[in-house]
Structure 1
Amino acid sequence: MPFGISPAPEKFQRRMDEALEGFIGVKVIHDDILIYGCENNDKDVKENHDKILIGIMDRCRQKGLKLNKDKRKLRLQEVSHLGHKITAEGLKTDSEKVKAITEMPVPEDRHAVQRLLGMVNNIQKFEPCLSEITDQLRQLLNENYFKWDPHVHGLSFDQIRNVLSNTLVLRYFDEQKYIRMLGACLLQEGQPVCYASRTFTSTKKNYAQIEKELPAVVFGMEKFETYVHIWKKIIVESDNKPFEIICWKVLLTASKLLQGMFLRRRKFKYVVVIKPGVDMYMAYFE
């Protein structure tokens, strides 16, 4: 394959997946191979890890794959990879990435704000209200001139730092366990797997509440499609009774706005469960 062509990474990833398929406890991400034990106690985890490792080594010999022994790391309790820290407890933010944001000086121009927002975007999945927190900072990018207000933009910057001062942990997704989607949060057994959020445009802010809820559901499903596409039924929880009726409205009788949402959601199979607002704790999480 010629060097530098655009499909090369996807082709390489597919070849690696094919070469190492059939192993449980193995994740292949381009030229990195992550191996983890899949048992309930430390002793069994180590034995399971070593068994998988031996199997991977044998498979690499069969397929003619060469490994760099200088980059090998064995039996680690946690691994930093792609801006995240992989631990036994769950997925955490990388301390170096967090430190780069918390120790970042106050932005003095648009480029500094763009750099900050780019860094913050890497931890979006860990915080359900991140788009709301960064809304004022994003508005600085739309102004004709740059003016930092410590009582507005400085407050948003401080809120970001406060969020990162907490230990943010996401559980690992298990294809065998039941899932539910709450707002833009994917949950398994009551624990978050991933968060997602975004702000409404100035036009969408004027939508009726019922017209805001369906786009939010479609956004969540499309955002988490990697996870939910394997399930025949998705549970969407809402405290809005009319929303349940709107979801099953005949396409031709719906407004043009909702018609577009109906068409986008057709590839997903889901049911709406109505819950009291007081029980929708994630919707009011701040």
Structure 2
Amino acid sequence: NGRIIIIIILRDAKLRLKLKKCEFHVQETDFLGHRITTEGIQTDKNKVQAILEWPKPTNVKELQSFIGLINNYRQYIEGYAKVMKPLFDLLRKDKSYEWTSEQQQAFEEAKRRITTAPILAQHDPEKPTTIEIDASDYAIGA
């Protein structure tokens, strides 16, 4: 039985479960801001709504908060590093905080892309797998 195996593994790792926080035999569940279904993993609609409603950051601390939230969803945003670069640049110590049209465009594009995020399918070892890598002057990805 799969549940018994999981309980044994958790016990051996000296981890405990609270039964009232456990779900068994469900087709989907929310976990750490993500929705996990039989189709794959997707963004939590409530978190996406919070990102969409986020006001323009007016200082470094507010920008760090926005980046911290959206960073949890970077795997859903194609070209995340490129999209976010103008915002990351504002966090550099050698730059003053000056919100320009470039930052506004990046802010809006990040929000737009999170609303069209794909469902990330579970890996199927029976199907062919391709790993793509890329690099630029400011980021690498795989």
Listed as ranges, the matches of 1:191-270 within 5 Å are 200-201=137-138, 220=142
Listed as ranges, the matches of 1:37-186 within 5 Å are 51-53=1-3, 55-56=4-5, 59=8, 67-142=17-92, 143-149=94-100, 151-184=101-134
Q: In 2, are the aligned partners of 1:135 and 1:199 still within 8 Å (CA)?
A: no
Could you say which structure has the larger radius of gyration?
1
Work out which structure has the larger RCO, using CA pairs closer than 8 Å and 6 or more positions apart in sequence.
Answer: 2
The structure where strand makes up a greater share of residues is 1
Q: 1:155 to 1:175 in 2, by over 3 A?
A: same
Deviation at 1:136, TM superposition (A): 0.9
- What SS does structure 1 have at the residue aligned with 2:35? strand
TM-score with structure 2 length normalisation? 0.78
Query: C-alpha root-mean-square deviation of aligned residues, in Å?
Result: 2.9
Q: 1:108 to 1:58 in 2, by over 3 A?
A: closer
Q: 1:106 to 1:175 in 2, by over 3 A?
A: same
Q: Which residue of 2 aligns with 1:227?
A: none
Q: In 1, are the aligned partners of 2:33 and 2:44 still within 8 Å (CA)?
A: yes
Which deviations, in whole Å up to 9, do the C-alpha atoms of 1:153-178 show, x marking residues without a partner? 11111111111222421111234443
5+ residue gaps, structure 1, are 1-50, 185-197, 205-215, 221-286
- How far apart, in 1, do the equivalents of 2:7 and 2:81 lie? 46
Q: 1:72 to 1:129 in 2, by over 3 A?
A: same
Q: Which residue of 2 aligns with 1:44?
A: none
- What SS does structure 2 have at the residue aligned with 1:179? coil
- How far apart, in 2, do the equivalents of 1:136 and 1:67 lie? 43
Q: 1:76 to 1:145 in 2, by over 3 A?
A: same
- How far apart, in 1, do the equivalents of 2:111 and 2:53 lie? 9
Deviation at 1:67, TM superposition (A): 4.2
- How far apart, in 2, do the equivalents of 1:172 and 1:111 lie? 35
